[in-house]
Structure formats: C-alpha cells, structure tokens
Amino acid sequence: MTISAGIDTAPPCPQVTGAILAGGSSRRFGQDKATLQLGGKPLARWVAAALGPAVADLWLVTNHPLQHLSLGLPLVTDLVPFQGPVGGLAAALFYARTPWVLLASADTPLLTPALATALAGAAGSLTRPALVCRTERGLEPFPGLYAVRLFNRVQDFLKEKRNFMGFLEGIRPSVWPPDSWRAYDPEGASFENVNRPEDLTGLAARVPRQHRDPGAGLSETLNSNSPVRNV
C-alpha cells in the first residue's frame, strides 16, 4: 500500500481511523471546498491519499452527504448538524471502531503521507488523549490524533462552546514542536489551508510529486460497500 516514491511506507495502524472534515460551503469559492479541483482531483481526495495508507478505516465527515457521494469516500454525518469542526470530531469519535482517530481537514491538500503515518504511528505510545503539532501560528488541530475516549468531553464542550482551540486547551494534548514534525514535512505544507481562490492557484504549482496520483493507495483502505451513516 504505497502512494509515493521516495517515502518509506509502513502498514496501516490498526489502532487508528482516519477522518476528513468536509466543512461547509465557502462564500469565497461559491461552493463546497471538499469538491474543489486541484490538479484535476477534488481536494478531499488529496487528503484521503495521504491518510489512507496510514489508517485502518477512512471516512469523510459531512453534513451534505449527497453532494459528497461523487468523491467515492465512505461518509458519516455529524450527530448534530452544523456544530463546526468540534462537532465533526464528535462524529468521528462516535463512529470509530478503533481507539484513536486521525483527524484532517479537506482543505489541506498538501498533507504529507509521511506526517500522517508518523502521527498514526504515535498512537501506541501516547499517554495524553491527543497529539497535535505546533507551528508559528500556535497549535494546529489538523492533522491531529484524538483518543475515542474523549467523546464524552467533546459532547460536554459542545453544550457551551464550539471553538476547537478552546477544546484543545482543555484537554492538554501532547504537542510536536517544529523540530519534531519537520522530519515528516520540512516545509509545513500539511498545515496550509485553501481559504481563497488565490490559495488554490498557488498550490496548483506545488502539488508534490508523491501526490500526483491521489487515488493510489486507497483501494485497500476504502470499502466501496460502506454505508452513509446517520443520514
């Protein structure tokens, strides 16, 4: 199950489910970001290509399953719609059949397979309930590794707040500083979001060679018979 040349690959981590947050419609783009095209493929498929080989299961978390069926990814929906990324985390934790969830955002198409694999591989040694990276902007919730045992805390948090950074502060995650994560992503491309049309234009010229085939490595991870859940 390889998706790139020049990167050491490892078998999927049986303890980890991959979950991609589809997000909602973007006013700047006038459409859903998960289905935006980069190099002829939807953004969500780039992210799936990085996550797929590292995890036991892979899902897209969405409030709009019908518009995301064309992505060819197994879908789950929020338990309570439109609660933002924290609500998406709650859904991923609820449906996971593994003790950990590796959570990513659909608008980060340059997520490196090496970073996804490294985060998933840390599941067996973590003592805290989450692992995230820190950049010059602060803590980066995506990609991040979250323990399924956090589900009740997420539900309690959603009763009053929805801010993901506030949630992270409350759970005191393990943190990888730049010196740790740069071994897997020297440029920090995994944390770059597509927020504006010019972002997409800029990224088109930077799609790394290992991502030229965003469907590679997914056939053994994706189950074409997986149902849409909680629709």
- Binding residue ranges for Mg(2+): 107
Cβ partners under 8 Å of residue 125, min gap 6:
none
C-alpha angle 45/135/183, rounded to 5°? 70
Rounded CA gap, 132 and 110, in Å?
17
Q: Tell me phi and psi for residue 102, to 5 degrees.
A: -100, 110
Q: What is the DSSP letter of 6?
A: S
Residue ranges for the known binding site for GTP are 21-23, 33, 78, 107
Radius of gyration of the chain (CA): 16
Task: Catalogue the long-range contacts made by 186-191 (C-beta closer than 8 Å, 24 or more residues apart).
Answer: 188/135, 189/110, 189/111, 189/112, 190/108, 190/110, 190/111, 190/112, 190/115, 190/143, 191/108, 191/133, 191/135, 191/137, 191/140, 191/142
Q: What is the DSSP letter of 45?
A: H
Residue ranges for the known binding site are 21-23, 33, 78, 107
